[in-house]
Structure 1
Amino acid sequence: MPIVLFIVVAGLAAVQLLLRIYRYVKSPLRAVPGPFLARFTDFWYFQKLREGSFEVVNKKLHEKYGPVVRYGPDRYSFNDQTATRTIYGHGTQFAKSSWYDAWSSPAQWNLFGERNIQDHAQYRRQYQNAYSMSSLVEYEPYVDECAELFGQRLSELAQGGVPVNMGHWMQCYAFDVIGCITYSKRLGFLDQGQDIEGIIYALENSPRYSTLTGIYPSLHPYLFRLNNLVASSSSKARGVGYVINYTIEQMQEHQASAKILDHEVDDEEGDKDEDKKTRSGQSQGKARDFLSKFVARHVKDPDGFGKYHIVQGCANNMIAGSDTTAISLSAILYYLLKNPRCFAKLREEIDRQHTDKGSQSRSRYFSFKQSQEMPYLQAVIKEALRLHPATGLPIERIVPAGGATIAGRFFPEGSIVGVNTWIEHRNPHIFGQDANDFRPERWLSDGAEKIAFMNRHWIPFGLGSRTCIGRHISHLEISKLIPRLVRNFNFELSPDLAMPESSWGTANFWFVKPKNFMVRVMARNN
């Protein structure tokens, strides 16, 4: 019996291989260069993903093969300044590839993993008012609360005099801020300085699972159950489930305390109402966190915006929002410390902002409005997110019916195409011959036309209709914390990172996370 089974499996594998070879020979894209194994199987991509540094591999592929390369039998990566608008521009019909199926629970949707363009647009409309620019002022007190506690923790760490993992502490800050904004409550990461209920542990492993399983999405329904079974046996791995259960508990608490008796308007005119509330500075006693807004919408439209919508919205905030912000904060601090001239220049601008405008400016908090009045700060943020965007894989899309011409080559419908932000952001034809260098001044002194051109290719939060819905929240958290850190503390990289030719280690499983970002913190003597 085992021999028969082996023969059957081997026969099916041989047939599959022959089909792959036949399709490759007949393919109009057979001339697209790339690794030999990648011409016939996705296993090459799978293996490279397992290594956790595909942003580096992707760059080497383009250096070797040119602006269009294959990384699978029907997967194509682009390093061409015309490709992003063709693939991701507003109104295009390039849907997400099946790789994204592994980012959702089987038979359930979420905003990130939803592949249907029309369904995604409908879901996004239901959420987007809560993430509008006009809502940011409401969320500032939550950010200030966590920034104050973070400052206290750093002062305590400074007294110890030993390097600490700033990547971990940035993650703690990001989790507690998004917890406050979502539920009006910190989850306690900054209070305890450690992982709460295995959330960080789970979010280290969940992207790894989705990244690898997405290459073979037909296995996802089976591997998902197995993965959950293994996770349920480990107290460390229950983090995502904890977020879901915590959201449900907070929903019940909101309903019990009748926080939403005065329902908020959350429809197509929601932005106008938000502007009025922001200008007047009146919240009229209403709870303004995301959960309150989502519950209010559910009460107003229980059929169109169900309890599942509430859970998904809150959980996505916690899971996706924290990673993006923490990585970006770490990248900004890292590049500032690797470039002391830039750190000194930014500190000079911050100190000037802190003292030039009277007693109100000398508050221990920096308002979001003040942060927008510091051009070098904004240039530093843009430059760090250019060199280290939070995600580091090709953003895969499927060529729609009728095919499409991308970077001067025709791709038939069904082809998987994508641009890796790490590749786009280091293209010398866009950002100059010093594209690999950290130079914030490029955003201030390269001329208005050149800056506008670079802005069109600056895509750390995506592009088009699938742009990260929480990008404004992340920008708020970053813009308020960085000037506070630079003003109040001195930092020193650990000796191995401080060496001129050294660079920090990262792990890329969609999110490119720093590893052991060790920094010594010292309180600044003002």
Structure 2
Amino acid sequence: MYLLAIIPLLILSRVLYLLYNFLLSPLRSIPGPFWTRFTKFWYFNQVRRGHFELENIRLHQKYGSVVRISPDHYSVSELSAVKSIYGTGSKFAKSDWYEGWKHPDQDRWTLFPDRNIKRHAETRKRFSSLYSMSSLVHYEEFVDYCADIFTQRLEEFAAMKESFNLGYWFQCYAFDVIGCITFGERFGFLDRGQDIEGAMSALDRLMTYSTLIGVYPQWHPRLFGPMSRFSWSGAGGRAYIMEFVQEKITRHNQQKGDPEKTQEHIKTQDFLEKMVLARDKDPEKVTDYHLFMMGQSNVIAGSDTTAISLSSILYHLLHYPNVLQKLRQEIDDFTAGGRCSEQVTFKESQEMPYFQAVMKEALRVHSATGLPLWRVVPEGGAEISGRFFPAGTVVGINTWVAHYNDDVFPDAKTFRPERWIEAESNPQRLKIMNDMYMPVSISHLYIE
């Protein structure tokens, strides 16, 4: 009886809320598709269908710099909003969309979806040295090892004149690189191109589940438990990845101190070894859970985004033969001048301007993230793009929207690495482009 009595009240409160947004909200004049004034379902359906990034760009082309995505979610496109929403010291907390990216158990948090600004900042500060450029360069031996195996697989396909899915093999490569860097050994994806223990398919299901359930995060605690029992579900994929990472950490700890612990025989200290040393030095500052949390973050955030970025680079090189020819010429010139090793080092690649421009442009035209990185307007509200947003409103900038802004990147749809080189002669122009440039490395290491 109590339930029957409360249902009408819940429906009435929802109707009143929708009427308020439609008739009285200070943001009622912000344009967007009709149904976005009343429900999140329009947004959910667009994300479910795929390619929301393209729809998001079209919305801004049609409606302007601020667009309504749902009753209380607004997509923003102006450069001035980037620093306000995501800049250092910003008080814009992550929205509840991030709830879908973590275990419903509130004690089991990870860095990417952590909505606690203070804790997130402390964790990021605690482990920032592990992700610094000086630290990452030391992992180059792991990357080279996997690149050699990847090259061998490509040569085998070429010798057999056999077609293959290069995007899939890029993910095999990325997974093995992440395995080497994080745990000191490859997962083994590059051996035969097999999805070891279903890890890649589990990650794909996890991504799909978390992206969609984040639109309706209140359903996450209710659905996660039951769905985790089914291997085909996204919740099952999350549970599997957690077990997968924990097994790798357990194995790493068991083999600690064994000189034959890996098949790679690489002397470089891996990520987990550095974490273990930090834990042993100060167990209160670095716990066993931190080891698990950071290991899981590397696997989830590193493999997929790396594969997408590599795919974008090669795809656009093949579709723009003139760019490929210029890049080959630069590599040949550097090789002839003794400035480029047979196995190009990171330091050498930094000196190759066209190569850097190609990578930067490929990540601009095809970013690895395709949704706005939703943030909550803090107490007191905020003015964004000439409008005042009350506290609690959810706002975000989609990297695709930012990267396809024709005012910042003229003829934005065209893959043209030269734009970055030309901007070198105009520091102010280059600064604007860099401020609007939000590839996966920025979103994960700095914004996220």
TM-score by length of 1: 0.79
Q: Give 1:287 deviation, angstroms.
A: 5.4
Aligned runs of 1:319-330 on 2, under 5 Å?
319-330=300-311
Structure 2 counterpart of 1:297? 278
Q: Give 1:183 deviation, angstroms.
A: 1.2
Structure 1 counterpart of 2:143? 143
Q: Give 1:303 deviation, angstroms.
A: 1.5
Structure 2 counterpart of 1:521? none
Structure 2 counterpart of 1:515? none
Q: Is 1:346 aligned with 2:327?
A: yes
Partner of residue 68 from structure 2, selected from 70, 91, 112: 70
Q: Is 1:395 aligned with 2:396?
A: no
Q: Give 1:291 deviation, angstroms.
A: 0.5
Q: Select the structure with the greater relative contact order (CA < 8 A; seq sep ≥ 6).
A: 1
| Between 117-126 and 238-247, the greater mean CA deviation after superposition | 238-247
Structure 2 counterpart of 1:418? 396
For 2:390 and 2:89, how far apart are their aligned partners in 1? 19
For 2:363 and 2:291, how far apart are their aligned partners in 1? 30
Question: CA RMSD, aligned part only?
Answer: 2.4
In the superposition, relative to structure 1, how do residues 5 and 135 fare at CA in structure 2: closer, same or farther (>3 Å)? Answer: closer
Q: Give 1:217 deviation, angstroms.
A: 1.2
**2:276–2:291: 8 Å Cα contact kept in structure 1?**
yes
For 1:465 and 1:344, how far apart are their aligned partners in 2? 32
Aligned runs of 1:444-455 on 2, under 5 Å?
444-446=421-423, 447-449=425-427, 450-455=429-434
**1:90–1:464: 8 Å Cα contact kept in structure 2?**
no
Q: Give 1:15 deviation, angstroms.
A: 4.2
The alignment partner of 2:416 has SS state of coil
TM-score by length of 2: 0.92
CA deviations over 1:468-509 (Å, ceiling 9, x no partner): 68xxxxxxxxxxxxxxxxxxxxxxxxxxxxxxxxxxxxxxxx
- The AA in structure 2 aligned to 1:59 is I
**1:424–1:457: 8 Å Cα contact kept in structure 2?**
yes
- The AA in structure 2 aligned to 1:461 is V
For 2:333 and 2:346, how far apart are their aligned partners in 1? 16
Aligned runs of 1:239-250 on 2, under 5 Å?
239-250=240-251
Q: Is 1:312 aligned with 2:293?
A: yes
| Between 222-231 and 12-21, the greater mean CA deviation after superposition | 12-21
Partner of residue 19 from structure 2, selected from 18, 21, 33: 21
For 1:287 and 1:66, how far apart are their aligned partners in 2? 51
Q: Give 1:112 deviation, angstroms.
A: 0.1
The alignment partner of 1:197 has SS state of helix
Q: Give 1:302 deviation, angstroms.
A: 0.8
Structure 2 counterpart of 1:215? 215
In the superposition, relative to structure 1, how do residues 258 and 462 fare at CA in structure 2: closer, same or farther (>3 Å)? Answer: closer
CA deviations over 1:277-303 (Å, ceiling 9, x no partner): xxxxxxxx9751001000011101111
For 2:185 and 2:201, how far apart are their aligned partners in 1? 21
Structure 2 counterpart of 1:163? 163
Q: Give 1:117 deviation, angstroms.
A: 1.0
For 1:286 and 1:159, how far apart are their aligned partners in 2? 33
**1:247–1:311: 8 Å Cα contact kept in structure 2?**
no
In the superposition, relative to structure 1, how do residues 462 and 330 fare at CA in structure 2: closer, same or farther (>3 Å)? Answer: closer
For 1:214 and 1:67, how far apart are their aligned partners in 2? 24
- The AA in structure 1 aligned to 2:50 is G
Aligned runs of 1:271-286 on 2, under 5 Å?
none
In the superposition, relative to structure 1, how do residues 87 and 219 fare at CA in structure 2: closer, same or farther (>3 Å)? Answer: same
For 1:89 and 1:464, how far apart are their aligned partners in 2? 11
Q: Is 1:41 aligned with 2:64?
A: no
**2:21–2:71: 8 Å Cα contact kept in structure 1?**
no
Aligned runs of 1:86-235 on 2, under 5 Å?
86-106=84-104, 107=106, 108-231=108-231
Q: Give 1:74 deviation, angstroms.
A: 0.6
Q: Structure 2: where are the runs of 5+ without partners?
A: 261-265
Structure 1 counterpart of 2:409? 431
Q: Give 1:258 deviation, angstroms.
A: 9.6
For 2:272 and 2:82, how far apart are their aligned partners in 1? 35
- The AA in structure 2 aligned to 1:452 is K
Q: Structure 1: where are the runs of 5+ without partners?
A: 260-284, 470-526
In the superposition, relative to structure 1, how do residues 177 and 207 fare at CA in structure 2: closer, same or farther (>3 Å)? Answer: same
- The AA in structure 2 aligned to 1:225 is G
Partner of residue 82 from structure 1, selected from 73, 77, 80: 80
- The AA in structure 1 aligned to 2:25 is S
Structure 1 counterpart of 2:263? none
Q: Give 1:215 deviation, angstroms.
A: 1.2
For 2:70 and 2:232, how far apart are their aligned partners in 1? 34
CA deviations over 1:299-331 (Å, ceiling 9, x no partner): 011112110100111121111101111100000
For 1:118 and 1:465, how far apart are their aligned partners in 2? 17
Structure 2 counterpart of 1:520? none
The alignment partner of 1:430 has SS state of coil
**2:171–2:307: 8 Å Cα contact kept in structure 1?**
yes
Identity %: 48
For 2:305 and 2:426, how far apart are their aligned partners in 1? 29
- The AA in structure 1 aligned to 2:309 is S
The alignment partner of 2:286 has SS state of coil
Q: Is 1:53 aligned with 2:54?
A: no
Q: Give 1:466 deviation, angstroms.
A: 5.8
**1:461–1:467: 8 Å Cα contact kept in structure 2?**
no
- The AA in structure 2 aligned to 1:300 is K
CA deviations over 1:198-232 (Å, ceiling 9, x no partner): 11101111111111111111211121112211128
For 2:73 and 2:139, how far apart are their aligned partners in 1? 41
Q: Is 1:459 aligned with 2:438?
A: yes
- The AA in structure 2 aligned to 1:111 is L
**1:200–1:239: 8 Å Cα contact kept in structure 2?**
no
CA deviations over 1:262-290 (Å, ceiling 9, x no partner): xxxxxxxxxxxxxxxxxxxxxxx975100
For 1:138 and 1:410, how far apart are their aligned partners in 2? 47
Q: Give 1:124 deviation, angstroms.
A: 0.8
